[in-house]
Amino acid sequence: MNTTATASAATAPAAAATDPLGLTLVVGSNRHGRFGPVVADWLLGRIQDRNDLVAEVVDVAEAALPMSLEPTPEATTALSGITPKLARADAFVVLTPEYNHSFPAGLKNLVDWHFAEWQAKPVGLVSYGGVSGGLRAAEHLRQVFAELHAVTVRDTVSFHNAGASFDDHGALRDPSGPDAAAKTMLDQLVWWGRALREARLSRPYGT
């Protein structure tokens, strides 16, 4: 795997239209005491309930990527555990908190280390925070992924006052709304994921 972000989704093996989509969940917070893993575990449960998605995780807190985009040996080692998961994904869900009206620097850094891996693939956005539910972070991410030639799906999942939404065991106190929102987002992600997978296989993106 070329860890300088030159992998192309067009080189992936051919897949049948009904084959499950490979989905990479990006956990976007690396702050000490972060709440992200609680939301990620809930979301993975919703994904595992489906037969049209197979998930794997990239966690910004475990990425250890340098902030300068230089191909150092340390960066190559860190990318070797991240880039393949992004390259082979048919779709992404990016989970982000909101820091200062936007998304975390560590998440932006992970995104910026890659380019072709995101191209012509759909992205679902899940956010959490205080009163805003992280929606400003999600909207900023739409601009970033548009620049990377990725398609963000319309519907998102957001958790307002996220800490109060889950109990001490990580279960939602009232799952009906979030479960419905997650289903809508994942349904859209599957539609776009299948359509874009077929398009990439029939004609490599950008040519």
The stretch 170-191 carries a mean pLDDT of 97
pLDDT at 1 over 60: no
What does the alpha-carbon distance between residue 163 and residue 133 come to, in Å, rounded to a whole number?
Answer: 11
Helix and strand numbers (H, E) in the chain are 7, 6
Q: In this prediction, what percent of the chain has a pLDDT beyond 70?
A: 92
* pLDDT of 18: 81
Cα Rg of the chain, angstroms: 16
Confidence bin at 74 (pLDDT 50/70/90):
very high
Long-range Cβ pairs for the range 181-185 (8 Å, 24+): 181/155, 181/156, 181/157, 182/43, 182/46, 182/126, 182/157, 183/46, 184/155, 185/93, 185/124, 185/125, 185/126, 185/153, 185/155, 185/156, 185/157
The stretch 84-102 carries a mean pLDDT of 97
Instruction: Read off the pLDDT of residues 124-150 as tens digits, 9 standing for 90 and up.
Output: 999 999 999 999 999 999 999 999 999
pTM score, whole prediction: 0.90
Q: What is the chain's mean pLDDT, rounded?
A: 92
What does the alpha-carbon distance between residue 40 and residue 5 come to, in Å, rounded to a whole number?
Answer: 25
CATH architecture of structural domain 20-202: 3-Layer(aba) Sandwich (3.40)
What does the alpha-carbon distance between residue 60 and residue 113 come to, in Å, rounded to a whole number?
Answer: 12
* pLDDT of 120: 98
Which residues, in sequence order, are bridge partners of residue 30? none
Q: CA neighbours within 13 Å on the CB side: how many for 151? A: 18
Rounded to the nearest 5 percent, the helix, strand and coil shares of the chain are 40, 20, 40
Instruction: Read off the pLDDT of residues 14-58 as tens digits, 9 standing for 90 and up.
Output: 666 789 999 999 999 999 999 999 999 999 999 999 999 999 999
Q: Tell me the one-letter amino acid at 46.
A: R
